[in-house]
Amino acid sequence: MYQLEEETEADLWEVEALYDLCFAPGRTALSSYRLRDGVAKVAELCLVLREDGVLAAVIRYWPVRVAGKPVLLLGPVAVHPTRQGEGLGGYLIHESLTEARRLGWGRVMLVGDAPYYSRFGFRKLNGVVMPPPTNPERVLGYELRPGAWAGVVGDVTRWVE
């Protein structure tokens, strides 16, 4: 039986260990991590999925800005290697996007593979520029509200209150 819950401080080391297992060394040097540095996660959207208490998958979201507008930065999402192919990552993406919409967010972006994320409705964002070195073909967006990305172009910047 799966348990989907908001990530807590008690989950931190286990979640980080899963990210270390799923991603290459040096992942924290990527431009996405520089945008997250010193910025609080969107806690309501950072989820852990467990089966019988064992961590199977995780997803996190961070606030950023594009042209001064609030945007959710999805990622990272990770599924334990022994659980990949079961649809757990897709489940987390669907559940968290539904919750993001309910919370009033309008737009989401990520850096990822278009063939994978297009099935969830993500499309290449033209004119939205991540800090280097980011391949612009991998900058993808999703509208939680119709038209939310219309006219939103420019550099992705850290969330500053």
For 25-78, how does the pLDDT look when each residue is reduced to its tens digit (9 = 90+)?
777 767 787 898 899 999 999 999 999 999 999 999 999 999 999 999 999 999
For residue range 80-109, list pLDDT tens digits in order: 999 999 999 999 999 999 999 999 999 999
- Domains in the chain: boundaries: 2-158
Model confidence, pTM: 0.94
For residue range 105-143, list pLDDT tens digits in order: 999 999 999 999 999 999 999 999 999 889 999 999 999
- CATH classification for the domain delimited by 2-158, as one of 3.20.20.70, 2.60.40.10, 3.40.630.30, 4.10.91.20: 3.40.630.30
Q: At 144, give phi and psi (nearest 5°).
A: -80, -25
